[in-house]
Structure 1
Amino acid sequence: MANGFTQINFGTSKSGSSTPKMAEVQPISLESLTAEDLKDFRFQLSSQLQTTLEVDQLINILYRHLNKIVNVSGINYRCKQPSIETAAGRSQKHRCSYQLSMSKINYGEIIFTRSRRFSEKELSTIESIMDVVIFPIKNALKYQEAMTTAMIDPLTGLSNRGAMSVALTREIERARRHSDQSMSIVVVDIDHFKAINDRYGHLVGDSVLRTVAQIIQTTIRGCDACFRWGGEEFLICLSNSTASLAQVVSERIRVAIAKTAFLPDKERRITASFGIAHYDGESDWPELVERADDAMYQAKTQGRNQTVTSLVGNVHSDLA
């Protein structure tokens, strides 16, 4: 049976769920733990928690240190905004949970579990260190929010070039390790975008960029990613793809853009040119992107509003 309900400053509840049993390391007896011992423990825990801004590492540090005085089999942490869920150890039947709140702001929920009930002394000890835990978690969440914001293009809501570099490095490594999980890159460039800005103004131009971004996002799969590469250019990374799939996806997006009424002048349509490069053993992602970019310029040369698959050796031009 799980522990009962207790309310503390951070918000506390105890509930239970069944999971397989596991062996537990016996902690130091709390009966011999003095106020000075607890003070030292809080200081050591606080010092260790200040060494990282990664939430999963914070939970692992807490798990290791708490087991010195209170035995827990597992610690789970979850937060709705930003969406984070991480754990250390293994979840068990009996649990105590704490809502981490400060100044009416919620910083998630932390859950301690084990196979036997927590005593009141153990609950009191856990509750006494929650103030040490909440500040590092708050800082880690703010850091993650800042990092996420830095990776997002504010106009379109797409990931930016910084995020693109991280994602493409990961995808190239995956394609290199697994021959059956290849990838494709698609470069998309809106045709005559400068003329659109000059004629209709930058507000309309911004609206065009946002709408094109939405069309791409609603067309690609959940495992794919789209980035604003710069100006009127977008880059799509198709994970676990084939060259034929990249062609199909590109054509769907191209046709959807051409059919959409973007401009005050309903008779005038926006078009885009597409360049595709399928992974072919490149050592790093810039080589693959360059091939896709060359193919996109070839599409411009051939009349725009079309899709071209990687043509090696093309020369960049000033076409728009």
Structure 2
Amino acid sequence: MGIEQRDKEGDLAALKRVAETFAVSVTPHLQAQIDPSDPKDPIARQFLPDAAELVTHEHERPDPIGDDAHSPVPGIVHRYPDRVLLKLVNVCPVYCRFCFRREMVGPGAKGLNAAQLDAAIGYIAEHPAIWEVILTGGDPLIASPRRLAQVIDRLNSISHVVVIRIHSRVPVVDPERISSELVAALKASTKTVWLLLHANHAREFVPEARAAIARLVDAGIPMLGQSVLLKGVNDSPAALADLFKAMIANRIKPHYLHHGDLARGTSHFRVSLEQGQALMRRLRGHYSGLLQPTYILDIPGGHGKVPVGPVYAEPAADGESWEVSDPWGGMHHYADPAAD
């Protein structure tokens, strides 16, 4: 047996171990977007298993953002006073190789049964401070339009809930699911419905995806974008600018750029905070303010999200004024006339 054949068999064995550890699924739509001749294809890197996922580190965690510590009943995560996550399902049409919930999603992972859903809705109804319910999972848009409509109808009956937010990859990974029935289910809500699309590269916005997004926005459903900063996918000013331009062109406002979470087997995607801040600084002043998301770190252990973007203003040495950096690195003195 030649060295090349042994290496190929070794690669296949490693990928099999990855698939036995973490869920793998790629929709036909995404398969058609992958360029097999490009070893750096950003679609393939996000969704195809990689032997690098078998490399784990001590600092990585099975629950990197601490969902479990804030879950009073199954399906609910209540980390912030005015909003909760409602994890309706634990499956997705695709599985991102950097997923922070990769330990709890995948084939065989059960969503909420009827009794658990009753308890989750009951929890929301019993806490009047909850202003916003975020449907997540898994990907909530993998649920049937009928089930989504039923859940939304139950949330409609809770007077203190004002906003229903839906986090989904579906419009860019399985756009045919954005059917007229699904759009009607979302539009029928008496609450304000927002949809946050997760996309990480401009190449995800192919014509089918753009059409799916248009079906949602044309129906009056506002959309925001969230992305993850990923080494080898979007860790350059040009890649981020192209991504955010694609969002804006499709009527999606970039909302969050997430620093990668410490999920097991994701070190090959990791970019340092310093690198992330430098990338955000390169966007400021060079590109429209519409393209500027908030760079966010979800503090490990369940301590919440905080902005970690570059700082442009710092107190001057006199303790009474400020030193302010412009977008191109020039420093300027600012005496705050409103200061005491």
The TM-score range, normalised by the shorter chain, is under 0.3
Higher relative contact order structure (alpha carbons within 8 Å, sequence separation ≥ 6):
2
Max Rg structure: 1
TM-score when normalising by structure 1: 0.24
Higher helix share: 1
